[in-house]
A and B are shown apart, each in its own frame.
Chain A
């Protein structure tokens, strides 16, 4: 049984990505008790799947290391993984959160030695790589995974692999009898930081994500750069493993579009500008990048980064909403069709690989969190219409970049502290 001590002076943070980790840490470092929930087996969220951040081109795992070190050192934070909220009831300062914890089938004895993974044969699509490539049926999602504890995929239960994993473990860490648990936690305030998911690219029919192998999304593109990712860090296209030197980025893929997401997802312009540097990093002067855009939204000092990329002769900007994509059967090249609105030229441009700068939508529709929490039309938490003690943080509340998510999460942590401080004053 999971033993978590929580009171109505405890802050519950839902979501263990950069926003949730930030909210949890900032509150805990103010002296508050925090329970941090993450539905996947490890913390880190989407930023842990990025190769680099814009505009500094530094690595997200660097900040992650600092945050994990802070979490490991802080006894006020209790991390629960594979955990999801099924209900929140009560009133501000006095909530009961019902939490469902899925079995990991690996207990705290795990030393992350990796013997179970070596013993297991079955492989599954690797969700850390957005389904590209495979991982074992006993796995650690990445070398940065925290908690540093393996997971047994429930799909190997009942197969010989499960027993192999169990007998490979010298430390009795594999517990195949582990059951789903439900715990009720008393909490004073909630920070909701469930983040975002990429818009379903299959819905953008003209771009043929479902039909053409060489049309991928921006989040998938990030994974190609990881030396331990699906291509071993090679920038090659999925259909034939050919080097992807001539790469097109299509902006507003799903965003700013009444048929899809009506909001602007904010990060995609900067993400494509950043990703253009990946192509340059791999192929130097053999690289050719085309960015098809409506407006380049390189807001505030990000303008510097835009100017830097504009100055790159190997990066072309085409002001155009791409009409559709076809495929050259012989070469496997996607061909982009549309009109360049600067001068109204029609184009039919072949590329090695097309990256859809995919839009961002909230992982959880805010209207489903609990009664009293309102969503805007896109499903983000409406800042003006939340309850007095459930606060949105990061991309659960708006389409934000990392920097703004962290600011927002820090603000949300303070709002939560205000509630639990009121509780403690009332009880004093």
Chain B
């Protein structure tokens, strides 16, 4: 690689030129920042300004650019040059917009700007242009696990896009539970009648598609590798094991119906005439349009009660706390099986909240028109007998009542086939991975065999805006394994998952990161000779990207990495770094600040702010003319998890008077897009008090906060609070 040649560009626009002595900033960039090319410009983001920079890149050999202008969030597309390391010194939102224009403040404001220029140059000097992950794989085949509607849809859609697919199904046939349905809930106008399931068509498409290879009666006994280079051992029908290479994985392992025998009070297991929804589908299939007969004696059913939320939405031990989403529509459909055959059959749907969102409302109305009775009530007991008695509390009349029926259908819920709960099951020793019958993927990952669960046994994403953001890069869940859902949603979900899998293999082949740092070409490396094999990085990586090799050194799987830097923050001996983000790139900024002496009454407050939430909050504070202390020096970090405590200790040792860490909300409703980063940082910082005591510093000098992007007023207030604290407790004695 060519030698680093820094070009520093100082903008005078947006009032920077009026408020600051840019000539002095230029001198600092040159003398202290070691920038070989330094230019001031009236209006850097206009075409001449950009051309000037491009010209220096092309003709002057500038390969590191420091833009001293507005925030890195502004004009990001304008200051985007290929194959150049870019740093931003935030003089607008970071300095002139958050400080008063008063003459008596001019000096400290100028010092703030000067420090940001120093910091930008210091960062630039330590940065390298990311070259992209060299150990990437190019396999673009997609593995789909599960041959139900979700899996088949994902396979067909991926194939239609031009990708080869390997479909593994554990049973002897495709179709999953949907193949056992008589009909499905309608997905089209007029949303009035049950319709064909369409499963036969899906199976036909799979069977006639030469780009989809199907393994029936097969399970995955081992999954290893990374996006673009996964390998899966498949125990096949013949009893052998086939090893297949694939680029990405869609886990569509579906659900198991809740075991209704756990509901004896509702007659399950006590009367043959109490069935679950799948039991009723079997009866309807057998009847094939004729009268539905009940299991016990073959009598034609003349009255049926559907008990909604059977064993669901329940706080009872062993029952499901959640709602399975599809069951209201499913019971409506099943009531129509009866009504469409003979309108005189009594059909009662007993519910607490009828949940038919969207056009399901039309389906609900259609059932009402067909004479289906809907009763708001909670069934407490089903008494077996030749005529079943459903004891329930009528919620409208507020009284106990009994409904009689030939047949009772329990609308039970979906239980996810999500494999092993890796938080609960003790992990095997790496290298001794035995196939686990419950596991779906049997992953050879340091952090466990299956995907981490979100809640209630489902493998959903935690993020509302990013439903496909899984914690194992290149592996996506689809269908009811990720969240209870109906067929309409499962089809959409599987189609989306197919896109994400395709995107994962495309990104992997280019050595690029996946969401949320999409396109990032940097990746972590470590200095083996310095490593103490402490395992912190392999344990703390939120994405299971780091395994351990035979000698217990970390083994980075770069294509699994999401570039958050949590490993870098975890490393006590600081051997982990990214080309453009390292202990040095940040450390040199911290040290680059010009530290006034103890008697100057010019404290320095270091703020390490999450670049996605706290940093934008400070930016928006600036846009709203909210001021904070000019003694502040803010450094954006990829994630609070990437903060190595050495930065904090170094800052204190070099005389900073206060240090503030601003990360995202942690805990159950965590907002950290790197999952555990903020939480880990809080834990690490909880031990900082000891360090402070050793340095004979007050504990108030270091604070860690959860800051949301909307904390536009609070974030500056927290900084000002620290400034007040310092005023109270005095300057740090550790200045040199």
Contact = CB atoms under 8 A, between A and B. Distances in A.
B46 A171 contact: yes
B499 A67 contact: no
Contact of A63 (B353, B357, B466, B518): B466
B301 interface: no
A143 B709 contact: no
A304 B709 contact: no
Interface string A405-417: 0111111011101
B468 A73 contact: no
A251 to B, nearest CB: 11
B161 interface: yes
Contacts of B619: 143
Interface stretch (A130-138, A174-182, A382-390): A382-390
Contacts of A57: 669
Contacts of A400: 358
B324 A411 contact: no
Contacts of B43: 109, 111, 170-171
Given A70-B518, A384-B188, A56 B76 contact: no
B355 A385 contact: no
B160 interface: yes
A18 B70 contact: no
A74 B356 CA distance: 39
Q: Could you say which of A18, A65, A266, A403 has the most chain B C-beta atoms within 10 Å of its C-beta?
A: A65
Interface stretch (B53-61, B490-498, B688-696, B722-730): B490-498
A414 B496 contact: yes
Contacts of A417: 161, 499, 502
B620 interface: yes
B357 A297 contact: yes
Contact of B455 (A18, A111, A304): A304
A300 B189 contact: no
B157 interface: yes
B450 interface: no
Interface string B313-325: 1010000011111
B380 interface: no
Contacts of A70: 515-516, 518-519
A252 to B, nearest CB: 10
A404 B489 CA distance: 8
Nearest to A30: B503
Interface in B71-89: 73-77, 80
A111 B92 CA distance: 11
Q: Could you say which of A67, A69, A304, A342 has the most chain B C-beta atoms within 10 Å of its C-beta?
A: A69
Interface residues of A, number: 87
Interface in A42-66: 51, 53, 56-66
Interface string B463-490: 1111110000000000000011100010
A228 B624 contact: yes
A425 B361 contact: no
Given A74-B519, A264-B357, A421-B162, A111 B77 contact: no
A307 B323 CA distance: 11
A59 B492 contact: no
A295 interface: yes
Contact of B498 (A295, A402, A414): A414
CB-based closest 6 A-B pairs: A63-B465, A410-B496, A411-B495, A414-B499, A266-B357, A143-B620
Contact of A30 (B75, B313, B499, B623): B499
A66 B80 contact: no
A301 B499 contact: no
Interface in A278-301: 295-301
A26 B613 contact: no
B654 interface: no
A296 B157 CA distance: 35
Contacts of A4: none
Nearest to B489: A404
Contacts of A62: 465, 612-613, 664, 671, 673, 708-709
B709 A227 contact: no
A400 B488 CA distance: 12
A263 B353 contact: no
B613 A65 contact: yes
B230 interface: no
Contact of A418 (B73, B160, B519): B160
A107 B294 CA distance: 74
B424 interface: no
B458 interface: yes
Interface in B649-683: 664-665, 669, 671, 673
A377 interface: yes
A171 B75 CA distance: 15
A36 interface: no
Contacts of B519: 29, 70, 73-74
29 contacts: A25-B518, A26-B503, A30-B506, A58-B464, A58-B669, A61-B709, A62-B613, A65-B613, A67-B465, A69-B612, A73-B518, A73-B519, A263-B358, A263-B359, A263-B361, A297-B357, A300-B484, A300-B485, A301-B483, A376-B189, A376-B359, A377-B362, A378-B359, A382-B188, A408-B492, A409-B496, A411-B496, A411-B499, A413-B499
A148 B321 contact: no
Interface string B513-547: 00110110000000000000000000000000000
A140 to B, nearest CB: 8
Contacts of B15: 113
- Interface range for B: 35 or more
A400 to B, nearest CB: 8
B398 interface: yes
B581 to A, nearest CB: 15
A341 B360 contact: no
A343 interface: yes
B506 A31 contact: yes
Chain B, interface SS category: loop
Interface string B414-435: 0000000000000000000000
B105 interface: no
Interface of A: 18, 25-26, 29-31, 51, 53, 56-67, 69-70, 72-75, 109, 111-114, 143-144, 148, 170-171, 227-228, 255-256, 262-266, 295-304, 307, 319, 341-344, 376-378, 382-385, 398-400, 402-404, 406-411, 413-415, 417-418, 421, 425
Contacts of A414: 157, 161, 495-496, 498-499, 502
A56 B355 contact: no
Given A228-B712, A301-B458, A143 B623 contact: yes
Interface string B324-350: 110000000000000000000000000
Contacts of B74: 111-112, 148
B496 A300 contact: no
B465 A402 contact: yes
Contacts of A344: 396
Contact of A382 (B189, B324, B673): B189
A300 B323 contact: yes
B187 interface: yes
Contacts of A425: 162
B354 A65 contact: no
Contacts of B665: 58
B28 interface: no
B708 A53 contact: no
Contacts of A264: 356-358, 360-361
A343 B398 contact: yes
B377 to A, nearest CB: 11
Contacts of B492: 404, 407-408, 411
Q: Could you say which of B464, B493, B515 has the most chain A C-beta atoms within 10 Å of its C-beta?
A: B464
Q: Could you say which of B323, B354, B396, B673 has the most chain A C-beta atoms within 10 Å of its C-beta?
A: B323
Nearest to B714: A227
Contacts of B506: 29-31
Contacts of B489: 404, 407
Nearest to A66: B516
Contacts of B496: 407-411, 414
A382 B77 CA distance: 37
Contacts of A300: 322-325, 483-485
